[in-house]
Structures are given as structure tokens and as C-alpha cells.
Amino acid sequence: MSLVLRSDDLPPDDRIELIRDAIWAGVLPVEIDYDRPAADIEVLCRVVEAGPVNFSSARSTPTMLRRTPRLARQDHEPTVFLAVQVAGTTMVAQGDNQAVLRAGDMAVYESTRPYTVLNTDRTELHYFQVPRGALALPEGTIDAVAGLRIGPDNNALAAVVAPYFDTLGSTDVLDHPTAAELVAGPSIDLLRALITTHLADEPAAAAPLQGSLVPRVQEYVRRHLADRDLSAATIAAAHHVSVRHLYAELERAGVGLQDTIRSLRLQECRRALRDPASAHLTVSGIGARWGFVDASHFGRVFRREYGMTPREWRAAPG
């Protein structure tokens, strides 16, 4: 999905409401306040989705965005934001932390706790929104850096990360679907590295990366269940480790790779067999869609897992 919102295209009487509706639908529900009449508000906003990542850029007159306690409590997939300051001055506050951002600075905050983003003058920022599960960082890691200023003077990676995300937000590369999909994974990896290196000491910074391989692999498996070539080799390559190291880490965590893949695929098949949207598909077609290319094998493993064949499950009263 790609969205471009220009205040000049919006009638002044409806401008504030239309901007708010677009941000709620395309990014995240937040309260938006302006310091001037609607006719004097200037906004240029662009939103692009690339797989699990939401990229947005905003150039605007002074604005205050508030994720209120009520909005933060609403049921939603927890997400993490990286704000990259391009021009102007912005204050980001979450929890006990508050950061003042100027060009080249960044800040991280997340959706399940209240936050405030205050643009005190004409500003331009890029925002990158990632599911918290995709970062696969240990509990408390995001809280430790949320609302802190991250810049070249206090983070060794900032001088690399800020220009990278600025390029993504400032060029048309994200308008090309294939390119957008390809940069999603590296962008998540880079954000994960930025967050972990901002922790206070080297052991603390290294621990999340070392300890997050298993949850990252589990998240990767969930996102690629329908890939027929999903295997230890492709998973290891995607995470830049050897197959031997992958199996060793999974064994240490008590996770069986093939059992996990098979169980998750069976869950998707079980759901699809009862889904009206899949009613036109054959049982074997549903199995094949989720990696079970041999219909007989699919039937056997499904029965072993659920005590009935796929056809019996499909025909059983709901």
C-alpha cells in the first residue's frame, strides 16, 4: 500500500479530520493537535508498506502527536517506531525519557505505552514502524532505549543508520514493490543493531543479539510458512549463520525446527479448511499451499495431530 497526503488537496473545513483519519488508517491511532487554524496547516505525508515494515515521511507545520493511555491499551499488534529527524526540531517523550531531536538524530518508541511527539517548528521526519515481534528482542530491551536521543555522538552506528533510513524515506526506491520488499528484512536487522548498541555496556548490548536468534528464527518461520523451500539451509542463510550453529542454538532452547514448521503449517491448514474464503480449494490444494505437496502425507500428519483426517475436519459441524 502507498499513500500520499497533501494538505493543499484537502478542503480547509475538513483538513484536520481527513489528516487524522489518514494517519489512523495508514500508521497508528494518535491524537493530533495543531497550533493554528486548519486553513494554515501544511502537511505532506507519504506512507508505504513493505512486508512487515511501514515507512512514512512527514513534512509539516508545528504538530503534536499523542498516543494516549486509552489508545495504547487498545488491542493491536505491538509495534516499534524509529523516528529519523531530517529538518527542524522535535521532542519525543515516552515513560521517564525525553529526547530533543535535530537533523541526523533518531529516537525509538513503542505503541503499547503512551508517547508524545512534538514538532515545535516546521519539521521533516521519517518514521519506520516494525512489529515488535519481528525485532525479537528480549523483554525490556525496547523499554531501555525508548525516548532517548540516538545520534552520531552517542551511538557508533548512528552515522550509518540515519543516512540509510533517510535515503529510503527521501527517494522513490520504496515505490517499487520488489525493492521495498527486499529492504524490509535488512531494515529490521539494522534497527535491531541500533537498539542493542545503544545499551549502556558491551555485554548488555551483545546479549540481545546473541539471545534473540531463536525468537528471530521462529518469527521468520511464521512469516515464510507458505514457502516450499523453507528449510534449515534457507533459514540459516537468512540469519547469516551456519546450519550447524542454527541447530545448536535451537537444541539449546529446546526447539525442534521441523516439528515447529510442521505444527505451524498444520495450524494454518486447519484454519483454512474451515475458512469460507477457501471453500473453493480442494483439501490437497490447501495442504499444498502450506507446504504439504504429498496429499497422502498431509492426511497422515493431520490425523496424527488432530485425531481426524482433513476431510473429516472440514465436514465436521463448526
pLDDT, tens only, 59-114:
999 999 999 999 999 888 899 999 999 999 999 999 999 999 999 999 999 999 99
Residue 315 phi/psi, 5° resolution? -85, -15
What mean pLDDT comes out for the span 293-314? 93
281-295 b/e (C-beta count within 10 Å ≥ 16 → b): eebbebbbbbbbeee
Kindly state the average pLDDT of the residues 162-171. Answer: 87
Evaluate if residue 7 carries a pLDDT over 80: yes
Using DSSP's 3-state secondary structure scheme, residue 71 falls into helix
Which pLDDT belongs to residue 204? 44
Q: What is the pLDDT of residue 175?
A: 79
Close Cβ partners of 201 (under 8 Å, ≥ 6 residues apart): none
pTM, two decimals, is 0.66
How large is the average pLDDT for residues 300-308? Answer: 93
Grid cell listed for 182: 527486499
Q: Determine the Cα–Cα distance for residues 176 and 29; give it in Å rounded to an integer.
A: 27
In the predicted structure, residue 302 carries a pLDDT above the cut 70: yes
Q: What is the mean pLDDT of residues 292-318?
A: 91
pLDDT per position as a tens digit, 178-189: 888 778 888 888
pLDDT tens per residue, range 190-239: 898 889 888 754 444 455 455 567 777 887 888 888 888 899 999 988 87
More reliable by pLDDT, 126 or 174: 126
- Residue 70 has what pLDDT? 95
Q: How far apart (Å, rounded) are the C-alpha atoms in residues 212 and 180? A: 25
Chain segment 27-66, per-residue pLDDT in tens: 999 999 998 998 999 999 989 888 788 899 999 999 999 9
Q: How many residues are given for the chain?
A: 318
CB 116 within 8 A of CB 165: no
How would you list the strands of the sheet with 63-67, edge to edge? 31-34, 63-67, 115-119, 90-94, 97-101
pLDDT digits (tens, 9 = 90+) for 236-278: 888 777 898 889 888 887 889 998 899 999 999 999 999 999 9
Give residue 140's region: left, alpha or beta (phi > 0; psi -120 to 50).
left
